[in-house]
Amino acid sequence: MRLSSPTSPTLLALAATAASALNLFVADYSGSITTLSLSESNSSYTLDKTFETTACGPSPAWLTLDVNRGLLFCVNEGITTPNGSLSSFTINANGSLHLISNLTTLGGPVSSALYGNPAAAEHGIVLAHYGGSAVSTFTVSAGGNLTLNEEFVFEDMPSPGPDPERQDKPHPHQALLDPTGQYILVPDLGADLVRIFGWDVADLKLKELEPLVADPGSGPRHIAFWTPQNIPGGTTYMYLVEELSSRVAGYAVQYSTDYSGLSFNPIGSQSTLGYHNLVRRNAPAEIQISPDNKFLLVSNRNSTAFTLPDPEIGPSDSISTFQLCPNTGSLSARHHQLSPSGGLYPRHFATNSAGNLVAAALQLSGSVVILERDTATGLMMLEPVARIAIPANVTTVMWDEVARSGVTGLTGMGVGLGF
């Protein structure tokens, strides 16, 4: 195993390695978006910092990648300001970013998702505003320019939820499309709801539909959808991470025939720690389906289930792996593994397309690690194969595995390049 610190490549070396290395984009609360390059030689991995920009704003909380158009969108939460912001960037071949547009938003955005007709020149991006108790949408031109479309500000609840500190008002925490692209779902941690919206193909306006009501005090945070393969007419399932109850709840999803909404049949819930009982209160964060469509992965924060021998890491939180049951969608008796996340507070993680590498954003460890995963068994290896320090609270990490060409311009600094 090789752990690398940042290097200072020349522009020629950077261009030469762009095709052989994988890029990752990282956001952190110090105000930076950082491009990392992951290279591999003889089963040894190295992470290098190749580019950094502060053009997103003071509190980057979420990144969304438009693979087809080569655009990156950054949501600035604006923790110390009354408003947030949304930025769009062109992605250059060497992983550098060129700012296209930056617009002020309602306060506290923490997540975004693209929606619309893939064949249309314009599409939409929807934001979930945790601090602003809102959902907003923007129109995105073919070139990545942003225009405000509409805003939904949710009314305060009659009284706080069962967890008054976290459920004092609505707190939308994610925006996500369902697998068909017809609906936008927004887990609301404060109101114990999953808000559901349809959208108009003509103007990308949203229509609020009947929500899913979660258990009181559960704190819906993030969602993953799953449709079993090779089952004709198979059911679509939705898995909801409940941050406050530390559980993942499963639902069978039914689509209305007139596009009027979704209905949900509960299929059970499971602790995100599986059968492990830990003293400290757990706070699950991210949830994703593995690329082979066989496993469900959930990151756990604050439970500190492991201590790794590497002195640079030491205490570690965890990632849970659940095996998915194609016939029922149930997670019961299907907890596969609790493995180290490689550090503290894995707020976010992302799996590469091959499914053998997981990048984890460790908010309190100030680092990004690469974890190896056995694609045959679904088991995670116990120690990172690469690690790099990020100076502040890391919020998001994202793979970019598309080969790109051209350099549009630079917004920020190239590490060791004199920009």
Region 6-20 average pLDDT: 37
Q: Tell me: the pLDDT tens digits for 159-173?
A: 999 999 999 999 999
Q: 418 falls in which pLDDT band (50, 70, 90)?
A: very low
Q: Where are the domains of the chain?
A: 11-414
Contact 208, 195 (CB under 8 A): yes
CATH 3.90.79.10 fits 11-414, yes or no: no
Q: Which of 220, 341, 354 is nearest to 292 (CA)?
A: 354
Q: 1 falls in which pLDDT band (50, 70, 90)?
A: very low
Q: 88 falls in which pLDDT band (50, 70, 90)?
A: very high
pLDDT above 70: percentage of residues in the chain: 91
Buried b (16+ CB within 10 A) or exposed e, 202-240: eebebeebebbebbeebbbbbbbbbebeeeeeebbbbbb
Instruction: Give the pLDDT score at 407.
Output: 64
Q: How far apart are CA 93 and CA 14, in angstroms?
A: 10
Whether the per-residue pLDDT at 22 is higher than 60: the answer is: yes
Q: Tell me: the pLDDT tens digits for 220-236?
A: 999 999 999 877 778 99
Instruction: Give the pLDDT score at 224.
Output: 99
Q: Which of 5-19, 84-98, 261-275, 328-342 has the lowest mean pLDDT?
A: 5-19
Instruction: Give the pLDDT score at 12.
Output: 31
